[in-house]
Structure 1
Amino acid sequence: MKGRHTPMYSEQAIDDRGAGAPLILLHSSMSDRTQWRKLGEQLLSRYRVIAIDLYGYGESECPPAPEDFTLAEEAQRVARIIRQRLGDRRFHLIGHSYGGATALRLTHEQPSSVLSLGLYEPVAFHLLASSEPAHRIIRQVAERVAECLAAGNTAAATAHFIDFWSGTGTYQGLPAERQQMLDRYIAKVSLDFQALLREPLKAADYRELTVSVCLLRSRESPLPTRRIAEILERTLPRLEAHWVRGGHMAPISNAGEVNPHWIDFLDRIRE
């Protein structure tokens, strides 16, 4: 008897450790599940920490139909992995950058499943009006990355992306091995832009979310993510927001300041 095929995901694309209430962690573009190791280590005694490699990162598979790839597809894959691990059990959710945008989309689709939502500068570019400077800035970055890839200049595409978020010259200053690893991810970054800029949901679609949200952002980050944070602060009804130092990549580069906010938020929700 033939049944419907359910895709199974590589154990290597998921870290699942600890005990307690489930906590799902979604990383940024150009990263993988290992970016959460410091946070995970601090929470393992109280939470079941599950860090997932998003499509095309770490050891995960690539999207099956890249030309049609959407943010909903990314969120649906995460939802399938969670369901395979947890069944119908509810979970806490934290996402950084592209992982934050995915976490928002997943919470919109399954609001009753999410116990709390932590966001660090979600790159939900679809919340920006197409006429505003923040949208034009990020659209130009996406177009430049796509142009470099189309010309076969992978390193230039990666450098443009990395330097936008972390400062001019950042990519050039990295060791060659690190550059090569990042170059491997840049094609998926272009798909992330595609998914984010084509996403149909608008800010109003998130107004009814009643989950508690902790939003972190940095004054050192580029305009687009600061504007998205402003929009979410006006939109989400149960949101608390905190400033941190370190720019857009602070969850990796300044985890010592970022992680205590997550830990305090989760412990208050748990109590």
Structure 2
Amino acid sequence: MNINNYFDEQGSGSPIILIHGSYATASTWKKMVDQLAASHRCISIKLPGHCGTPDPDDFINPTIETELDIVKKVVNSLTEEPVHLVGHSFGGVVALAQALKNNINISRLSLFEPVAVSLLDDRMSTIVQEFLAKYRRDVTAKVPFACGQVIDFWGGKGSFDSLPGFIQEGMEALVDNNIRHWDSEANMDYKLIDFQGISVPTQLICGTKSNPVAHSICDHLNSLIPHSKKYTIEGASHFLVTSHARECLEVLDNQL
């Protein structure tokens, strides 16, 4: 593995590690990085199977350890300083798992709607499982643009249709990787008490228009992680880091 293929870098100063979500790329962070790079060393992770990186080799038994190993290697190859770890959606799950694993030096954790659905209560979990069952059936049946179901589930009805055709086609090619992400999250091995061991300041950020499932996840994490605070961004939904980049930056500037 050439670790240099798994990140983009911009700016100088204290390091921020940014992890994009499923059906996305490192360019997710472009609007934010263009501002952050004036005072920070911004290191944007490229998840396996995305941004031109090779597919992972664990599709049969997916594990988030694949992503955690990449993040650890990137961080250790670039800096010895404590890092501000930032993740969005599935990238938020990776960042959260990295904090639980505690194998890199994290100074702060910022999670934009992490899709840690295993934490949900029975009512919310049923909503996700019913959605996921249909999505999996359609993927198996090779229904065209089944990927749009995920985008609309998290972002709201019509979110996928509003995207340019070339982006929709790029997402269609990532369906197998997305299914792997759902399975990787489901296979995470943790206990609720583990979250109480996250000692760094933690921000949990949702949009006011986001799926109630996303809010439920952030609320639950906020109750478990000792030094955490939940923020909401007015008018935003799941893709807030691109649609409301300025407001997201303002949250990152907040001191807990």
**Hey, which bits of structure 1, 4+ residues long, moved more than 6 A?**
none
What is the alpha-carbon distance in structure 1 between the residues aligned to residue 162 and residue 227 of structure 2? 41
Q: Larger radius of gyration, structure 1 or 2?
A: 1
Q: Residues 171 and 179 of structure 1 are in contact (CA less than 8 Å); yes or no, is this contact kept in structure 2?
A: yes
TM-score w.r.t. the length of structure 2 is 0.92
What is the rounded CA distance, in whole Å, between the counterparts of 1:114 and 1:21 in structure 2?
A: 12
Q: Does 1:103 align with 2:92?
A: no
Provide Cα deviations, 1:214-256, integer angstroms capped at 9, x if missing partner: 2111232112211111111111111122111211111111212
**Which residue, out of 192, 195, 217, partners 1:228?**
217
Which residue number corresponds to residue 61 of structure 1? 54
How many residue pairs get aligned? The number is 255
Match of 1:36 among 24, 29, 32: 29
Q: How does 1:190-229 map to 2 (within 5 A)?
A: 190-229=179-218
Residue 34 of structure 2 aligns to which amino acid in structure 1? E
Q: Distance in 2 between matches of 1:60 and 1:19?
A: 25
Identity of aligned residues (%): 25
What SS does the corresponding residue of 2:16 show, helix, strand or coil?
Answer: strand
Give yes or no for the alignment of 1:82 onto 2:75.
yes
Give 1 or 2: higher helix fraction. 1
The answer to whether the Cα contact below 8 Å between 2:111 and 2:205 also exists between their aligned partners in 1 is yes
Letter in 2 for 1:9: I
Q: Could you tell me how far apart the structure 2 residues matched to 1:250 and 1:232 are?
A: 19
Contact 2:20–2:28 under 8 Å retained in 1: yes
Hey, what does 1:249 align to over in structure 2? 239
Q: Secondary structure at the match of 2:3?
A: coil
In structure 2, the residue matched to 1:136 is 126
Contact 1:203/1:232 (<8 A) preserved: no
Residue from 65, 70, 86 that aligns with 1:72: 65
User: Cα deviations across residues 160-201 of structure 1 (Å, max 9, x unaligned)?
Assistant: 112212222332343322221111122211111111122221
Cα 1:220–1:202, aligned 2, differ >3 Å: closer, same or farther?
A: farther
1:84 positional shift:
2.2
Give the drift of 1:257: 1.7
Aligned to 2:45: 52
Distance 2:45 2:36 in 1: 16
- Name the counterpart of 2:13: 20
* Post-superposition offset of 1:112: 6.0
Q: What amino acid is the match of 1:61?
A: P
> Which runs of 5 or more residues in structure 1 are unaligned?
1-6
Displacement of 1:10: 4.5
SS across alignment from 2:86: strand
AA of the residue aligned to 1:77: I
Among 2, 8, 16, the alignment partner of 1:8 is 2
Give the distance between the partners of 1:174 and 1:95, measured in 2 at CA: 22
